[in-house]
Amino acid sequence: MAEAAPERDGPPVALVTGATGGIGAVLCADLAEAGYAVVAADLTGAPAPGATHEVELDLRDGEACRAAVRSTVDRFGRLDLLVNNAGINARGTFDEMPEEVWGEVVDVNLNGTLRMCQAAHPALAAGRDTGRDTSGGAIVNLASTGGLVAIAGSAVYGITKAAIIHLTKVLALEWAGAGIRVNAVAPTIVPSPMTADVLGNDDYMTAKLATIPLGRIVEPQEVADAVRWLASAGSGMVTGQTIAVDGGVSVL
């Protein structure tokens, strides 16, 4: 059963980027079940399971990020949770990585995460009360095991995720005074459109599973469980942390 969302006046509001992807759709459905009003933000602006509002979002455009937050606040009057889930990948080693591909992945994954955090900051900070409840909003960034350990052939993706992990730490320090908690979730391989090309490759998967001590891939719901906990009142003293949902990969 889903853990209850934080309690304030009215339902808490979550904005999820990359909402129509494999992980994003599960995140939206899970947060809706937990009692959030969910805003699905995606390049297409398409509906997502459980979402009650949709916005079109291009993370490469700072004004689009700010507009997504404005649309959320206009619709619901508040923002309590930002989940930075959207991202892209480009497989390949550095000797064959074109500069323009590097730039695109960095701009979407890292810069896009920062743009959304900056856009959401005023609304998340506005949720802080001056009475007994001194909490503000929360941010959960989607990182990756590739940001914790080096994985050959996933160079640029892993580096952007490592940067997101460090960004999470710095934002947690800088925004603690506003009551905003910032954390990250770092899963190993998850079934999604982004991983469809390798999930059907027996040789790749045999080698990949050999690196995961628990011997299996991560289900999207397991990622959602971690995100929901980091957003909940039960993690009220947790900030600047990255939860590895990776079957033990990062302890090796």
Cα–Cα dist 203/201, whole Å: 6
Among 139, 157, 171, 224, the active-site one is 157
Pairing verdict, β 13-17 and 37-42: parallel
For residue 141, the 8-state DSSP code is: E
Q: To 5 degrees, how large is the angle CA 85–CA 89–CA 92?
A: 155
Cα–Cα dist 81/94, whole Å: 36
Known catalytic residue: 157? Answer: yes
- Residues whose CB is less than 8 angstroms from the CB of residue 150 and which lie 6 or more positions away in sequence, other chains included: 158
Residue keyed to tokens 């005023």: 122
Strands of the sheet containing 138-142, edge to edge, are 53-56, 37-42, 13-17, 81-84, 138-142, 181-187, 242-245
Which active-site residues does the annotation give?
157
